[in-house]
Amino acid sequence: MEEEYGVPPDVDPECELCSRPPPAGWVLAYCGEAPGEEGTRETMLTLGNGYLASRGADPEARADGVHYPGTYLAGFHNRLAGPGQSDGTESIVNLPNWLPLTFRAAGGEWFAPGQGRRVHEHRVLDLRRGVYLREVLVVDRDQRRTRVRQRRLVSMANPHLAALETTIVAENWSGRLDIRSGLDGGVVNANAPTEAGSCGRHLTHVATGEDDAETVWLTALTTSSRHRVAVAARTRIIGGGPRHRQTAVPGPDDVSQVIAVEVTPGERVSVEKTVAIFSNRDRAVSEPVPAAREELRQTGSFDDVLAEHVAAWARLWARFRLDIGEQHAWQAPVRVQTFHLLQTLSPYVIDLDAGVPARGLHGEGYHGHIFWDELFVYPYLDLRMPELTRALLEYRYRRLTAARRQAVAAGTAGALFPWQSGESGWDESPARSRSPVTGEWVDDYTGRQQHVNLAVAYCVWRYWETTGDLSFLAAAGLELLIETARFWAGLATYDPDDDRYDIRGVMGPDEYHDGYPGRPGQGLDNCAYINVMVGWVLGHAEEACGVLARHPGVRPWREVDPTEDERRRWEHIGRRLRLFFLDDGILAQFEGYGDLAELDWHRYRQRYGDLRLLGPLLQKEGDDANRYRVSKQADVLMLLYLFSAEELTDLVRGMGYEFDPARIPATVDYYLSRTSHGSTLSRVAHAWVLARTDRRRSFEMLVTALGTDLADPQHSSTRNGIHLGASAGSLDILQRCYTGLEIRRDVLRLNPQLPDGLDELDCVIRYRNQLINLHVDHDSVRISAAPGADQPVPVAVREKFFPLDPGSTVTIALPPAAPKDGAPDLRRQK
């Protein structure tokens, strides 16, 4: 991985990217060609602005098994029935490709993959400016050397704009240079061919036109959601000699223009392709085609668009700064993850009807679906741009009706957000999927995971706790909490003999357990994660009612409160949910977990090496992970990710069980040694959990999580999109976990403990309308509030309380009380 951040191996002194690269902490670079890694690189070179994103595919390439141009709009889905399917699955739609741009020297071949010899190829993502830079030196079969320099952006200043500037230099030849620029509406979804029903053509009714010698447009309709998208492109040539008139070449589903220009050796010809994209889902837009054409008419040169875009990124970086030292090897990955997070969830999302797609807007993995991954994202956003969390939670709120129907279908009341969903909020979880080991179709029971609503409810409360946003709690948050409580209370059954409630037939986050041995897919009883979360939600639904009762002015106008009977039952359930413990006081993942067999990890490691796909490997052998005490990802330990040791102790004791927090380190060891980390979310949760007991391992986990989309480009599923939950979750480890940041009773509390792998951490957070800068190192914490008219912020650093006035800075020495790495430490971290 190192070479991606250092000087690329084949240096070309003429290459501007080799001679003047962006600063090391702000760059992601790839040199040379690597067809096997191209899909991953395209994902990592994706540009986006929350509304729109385009994969970093080469403009001269089409989808060909190596390259995959993909352009997506947030929340823009279509349902397509695959072979043998009647209903089909909703997928994010691959939209018309706006990139196509190529050239040829007179009499030569068009520049395309496999055409000519690429002597040098260098691609750089300039993270600070949000620009993708590319330089290629290509030699054609007549030994004509042509240098191509490209700058590409998807505007952070105007969400509808994207632009590509291509500068072509004929190094050793003169004559006619043909340039072809176009829009391709003939695209299909084909980025994730191993997923059921994910390939196919979602666009129909393609129409194209030419406005003037520089501008063409294309519009298309989705096959079932009937969304219309429109793209207009202006191609303008700057430099070169006499020019021949541009001619439009309409194809059945595409349109392009060919421009011929005379060039001499060393002369630069620039081609500015500027594109506007609109859809009928946009607000304040009635007709996307005229909107796109008008936008282009009002848009200036590439440099004009670039200047505004760079200024917008500068403002965004000022809000999302997270520095661990310019020289730190992981500074660039921290920024790469921040960059892609912001490209998916930018401030523009606030005005959209879009959720948190697990794979970003970077590919078609999981059909662009939404799972529970927001649980790893919102706590980070709450302290940066809480309006974003609010908008994303409102996306859930708008889908409460679908969630209520899903709950009824599950035989109970309240609301159940499906495990996988798209635009409609309906259940899109697959019934079958391909084994990543054998490629065979196998039953897929992951849709049995009903814990998404628990994640949403948890996020509602944390958002409220962080922001104090009463109007949100009243307008949407309360109902989300109550409907979640209602659902789980409906599932809980009472056992009068023990005065205990059971929740049966469920599935926790660990996807290796969907049933008892011999009964796959039938669910499990009394999952610790679910039962503890349910206890927490029941209590907090009640607390939210109490908060709003104290503020009659903002109380919802609709009747959403639970009845007295419900309240009594919730209170009883919350106290009497059943949990199981293993012999040594360790919380059991579910009832009967202790009866499962132990896996011989040593033997399996020897046989397979990497055990991230342990479940499918066992399946290949005719075995079943359900038989063993193995986990794909954090499950019981998720509780320690979400709750401090103190909170968890209170919760479990509140359910009437003895719980000794001194058993927490043993619990962490127990499950960690039985986890294969088959989900990228797993290392995030474990990095957090270990921060309390073993900071060295915690940091190791964190850097693996940070590197999720950067390591192993040959084999990684990053070719189908980034892993957004792991990205945001990793950043949150730095932001909240290592600073020990928590908001409790309106006090901003800090209890920093950096691992040895970090010398310092500097970030800016937003708390109750104030911008606060935090600087933490091993000896001290410095906290500064930006000047302004707000009230002082109540702060506590390791229980030392003080008010932080606007415009002031307080530095507090950290006594060397922190235990050394590796020593148990149960002090409150969250």
Using CB under 6 A, which of the segments 37-45, 80-88, 203-211, 366-374 binds ligand BGC?
366-374
- Considering the rule CB under 6 A, would residue 358 count as an interface residue with ligand BGC? yes
Nearer to ligand BGC, 511 or 514 (CB): 511
Q: How far is the CB of 532 from ligand BGC (least distance, A)?
A: 18
Joined together, the tokens standing for residue 226 give 């009937």
- Contact yes or no for 254/185 (Cβ under 8 A): yes
Question: 3-class secondary structure for 776-793?
Answer: EECCEEEEEECCCCCCCE
- Considering the rule CB under 6 A, would residue 716 count as an interface residue with ligand BGC? no
Q: Residues near 728 by Cβ (< 8 Å), separated by ≥ 6?
A: 337, 341, 376, 377, 380, 381
Nearer to ligand BGC, 223 or 717 (CB): 717
- Considering the rule CB under 6 A, would residue 444 count as an interface residue with ligand BGC? no
Q: Helix 528-549 to helix 478-491 angle, to the nearest 10 degrees?
A: 140
- Considering the rule CB under 6 A, would residue 684 count as an interface residue with ligand BGC? no
Joined together, the tokens standing for residue 688 give 């957090």
Q: How far is the CB of 713 from ligand BGC (least distance, A)?
A: 19
Among 200, 725, 729, 740, binds ligand BGC (CB under 6 A): 725
Nearer to ligand BGC, 46 or 753 (CB): 46
* Residues 791, 513: Cα–Cα separation, whole Å: 50
Closest CA to 723 of 706, 698, 703, 701: 706
Q: How far is the CB of 577 from ligand BGC (least distance, A)?
A: 23
Handedness of CA 509, 533, 681, 723 (dihedral sign): positive
Instruction: State residue 370 phi and psi, 5-degree precision.
Output: -110, 130
Q: How far is the CB of 365 from ligand BGC (least distance, A)?
A: 9
Among 132, 371, 641, 659, binds ligand BGC (CB under 6 A): 371
Q: How far is the CB of 687 from ligand BGC (least distance, A)?
A: 16
Beta strands 793-797 and 747-750, pairing class: parallel
- Considering the rule CB under 6 A, would residue 355 count as an interface residue with ligand BGC? no
Using CB under 6 A, which of the segments 239-247, 270-278, 330-338, 370-378 binds ligand BGC?
370-378
Q: What does each C-alpha distance from 654 to 284, 553, 578, 646, 658 come to in angstroms? A: 51, 33, 12, 12, 9
Q: Show contacts with ligand BGC in window 245-304 (CB under 6 A).
A: none
Using CB under 6 A, which of the segments 368-376, 515-523, 743-751, 812-820 binds ligand BGC?
368-376
Nearer to ligand BGC, 25 or 725 (CB): 725
Among 466, 467, 679, 693, binds ligand BGC (CB under 6 A): 679
How many residues bind ligand BGC (CB under 6 A)? The answer is 10
Nearer to ligand BGC, 25 or 509 (CB): 509
* Residues 819, 830: Cα–Cα separation, whole Å: 17
Q: Where are the alpha helices (DSSP H) in 560-660?
A: 564-576, 601-608, 614-620, 638-642, 645-654
Q: How far is the CB of 600 from ligand BGC (least distance, A)?
A: 24
Instruction: State residue 34 phi and psi, 5-degree precision.
Output: -150, 80
Q: Strands of 175-184's sheet, edge to edge?
A: 101-105, 175-184, 254-263, 243-250
Among 89, 167, 633, 698, binds ligand BGC (CB under 6 A): 633
Per-position b or e across 414-450, b if 16+ CB within 10 A of its CB: bbbbbbbbbbebbbbbbeeebbebeeeeeebbebbbb
Joined together, the tokens standing for residue 415 give 């609301």
Nearer to ligand BGC, 538 or 681 (CB): 681
Q: How far is the CB of 576 from ligand BGC (least distance, A)?
A: 29
Per-position b or e across 292-328, b if 16+ CB within 10 A of its CB: bbebbeebeebeebbeebbebbeebbeebebbbeeeb
* Residues 676, 679: Cα–Cα separation, whole Å: 8
- Considering the rule CB under 6 A, would residue 698 count as an interface residue with ligand BGC? no
- Considering the rule CB under 6 A, would residue 619 count as an interface residue with ligand BGC? no
Q: Residues near 8 by Cβ (< 8 Å), separated by ≥ 6?
A: 18, 29, 30, 31, 32, 122
- Considering the rule CB under 6 A, would residue 638 count as an interface residue with ligand BGC? no
Per-position b or e across 647-686, b if 16+ CB within 10 A of its CB: bbbebbebbeeebebeebbbbbebbbebbbbbbbbbbbbb
Closest CA to 559 of 488, 478, 472, 490: 478
Using CB under 6 A, which of the segments 151-159, 224-232, 236-244, 367-375 binds ligand BGC?
367-375
* Residues 653, 306: Cα–Cα separation, whole Å: 58
Q: How far is the CB of 236 from ligand BGC (least distance, A)?
A: 41
Q: How far is the CB of 716 from ligand BGC (least distance, A)?
A: 13
- Considering the rule CB under 6 A, would residue 72 count as an interface residue with ligand BGC? no
Q: How far is the CB of 371 from ligand BGC (least distance, A)?
A: 4
Q: How far is the CB of 376 from ligand BGC (least distance, A)?
A: 9
Q: How far is the CB of 181 from ligand BGC (least distance, A)?
A: 37
- Considering the rule CB under 6 A, would residue 681 count as an interface residue with ligand BGC? yes
Using CB under 6 A, which of the segments 56-64, 219-227, 365-373, 569-577 binds ligand BGC?
365-373
| Separation of CA 79 from chain center | 22
Q: Residues near 86 by Cβ (< 8 Å), separated by ≥ 6?
A: none
* Strand ranges for 435-553 from DSSP E: 441-443, 493-495, 500-502
Q: Residues near 173 by Cβ (< 8 Å), separated by ≥ 6?
A: 105, 144, 145, 146, 265
- List, by residue number, the catalytic residues: 511
Question: Would you tell me how many other CB atoms lie within 10 Å of the CB of residue 98?
Answer: 28
Among 372, 580, 590, 738, binds ligand BGC (CB under 6 A): 372
Nearer to ligand BGC, 124 or 681 (CB): 681
- Contact yes or no for 202/91 (Cβ under 8 A): yes
- Contact yes or no for 674/692 (Cβ under 8 A): no
Q: How far is the CB of 543 from ligand BGC (least distance, A)?
A: 28
Among 373, 469, 479, 542, binds ligand BGC (CB under 6 A): 373
Using CB under 6 A, which of the segments 271-279, 371-379, 730-738, 754-762 binds ligand BGC?
371-379
DSSP-assigned beta bridge partners for residue 220: 229
Nearer to ligand BGC, 347 or 360 (CB): 360
Q: Show contacts with ligand BGC in window 478-517 (CB under 6 A).
A: 509, 511
User: Please, is 389 exposed, middle or buried when counting C-beta atoms within 10 Å of its C-beta (0-12, 13-18, 19+)?
Assistant: buried
- Considering the rule CB under 6 A, would residue 429 count as an interface residue with ligand BGC? no
User: Please, is 81 exposed, middle or buried when counting C-beta atoms within 10 Å of its C-beta (0-12, 13-18, 19+)?
Assistant: middle
Nearer to ligand BGC, 371 or 643 (CB): 371
Contacting residues toward ligand BGC, per CB under 6 A: 358, 371-373, 509, 511, 633, 679, 681, 725
